[in-house]
Amino acid sequence: MITLEHLHKAYGDKTVLDDVSLAFPAGQVTSLIGPNGAGKSTLLMCIARLLPANRGQILLDGQDISRIAIADYARRVATLRQVLDFNLRLTVEELVAFGRFPYSRGLLTADDQQVIDESLDFLGLQPLRGAYLDELSGGQRQMAFLAMTIAQRTDLLLLDEPLNNLDMKHAVQIMQAIRRLCDEQGRTVILVVHDINFAANYSDHIVAMKGGAVHSHGPVAEVVTQANLRALFGLAFEILPSAHGFVCNYFNPSLSRELV
């Protein structure tokens, strides 16, 4: 559904995205992985229309996204970035209600209210609905922002490092929610994730980036191989099959000596 054609982005003379052409499979979870500065977030922000690309185009269902009005785009693509500087004093419910802004522009209908309730239910946030955001833990806040993004009811969700600064339990909860969004509601999710194990265990498709270009992409089993990850990150990997997916050990892999 989302296709990139020869996307190029540079800041001054520093190239961040170099001729990226990709197609993201619909109805699947795609993780963008790669070392810092690989251009993952830039790519995601270009798709979100928060950054303009210098060359190339992005097609949503065959339509150039720069030709879609920003208000219409918000009903088709929802974006969640890291929200470190959010200082509005809103309750969880009020925040989630703003996920309906692209539809209602302020006046909530009964349908909107139902979507808000469902989104809160979906992430188990009902007990916190009246709490102010600044009274919540980082994990609970992230859940609230995800609920708002879910309430936008878009086919495509873009999540930029949704697991940043979260403890293990909240990280697992968020990834499980993303999985359910895809499996139960048929939504397409593209996320930037740093933890290779979350990417390997929760996504269908992986796009690995390095130096502004696509390093490799494909179904998880094709990308998550010892040789490929070693080339991508410059680290030795030991990939252990588990009951549900893979566990990638890069902390103390037994083969590390031959590389260093």
Partner 1 sequence: MSRVLLPTLLLLLCGVSLMVGASQISWSALWSASDDAWLTLTASRLPRLAALVLTGVGLSICGVILQQIVRNRFVEPATCGGLDAAKLGILVALTVLPGAGASGRMLFALVFCLLASLVYVAIIRRIRFTNLVLVPVIGLMYGSLLSAIAEFYAYRHNILQSMQGWLLGDFSRVIEGNYEIIYLILPIVVLTYLYAQRFTVLGMGEGMATSLGLNYAATAILGLVLVAVSVSATVITVGAIPFVGLVVPNLVALRYGENLKRTLPIVAMCGAALLLACDILGRLLIHPYEVPIGLTAGSVGGVLFLLLILWKCK
Point out which residues bind partner 1 (CB under 8 A). Answer: 48-50, 70-75, 78-81, 83, 85-91, 94, 98-99, 101-102, 105-106, 132, 152
Q: Which is nearer to partner 1, 98 or 250 (CB)?
A: 98
Q: How far is the CB of 31 from partner 1 (least distance, A)?
A: 20
Q: How far is the CB of 106 from partner 1 (least distance, A)?
A: 3
SS3 253: coil
Q: Which is nearer to partner 1, 99 or 212 (CB)?
A: 99
d(CA 36, CA 79): 21
Q: Which is nearer to partner 1, 161 or 195 (CB)?
A: 161
d(CA 217, CA 208): 6
Q: How far is the CB of 21 from partner 1 (least distance, A)?
A: 25
Q: How far is the CB of 44 from partner 1 (least distance, A)?
A: 12
b/e burial code for range 124-140 (CB count within 10 A of at least 16 → b): ebeebbeeebeebeebb
Q: How far is the CB of 47 from partner 1 (least distance, A)?
A: 11
Structure tokens at 139: 């994990």
- Is residue 154 a contact partner of residue 119, using CB atoms and an 8 Å limit? no
Q: Which is nearer to partner 1, 41 or 228 (CB)?
A: 41
Q: Which is nearer to partner 1, 50 or 259 (CB)?
A: 50
CA proximity to 29, closest of 210, 239, 237, 185 = 185
CA proximity to 4, closest of 220, 72, 18 = 18
Structure tokens at 94: 């009020």
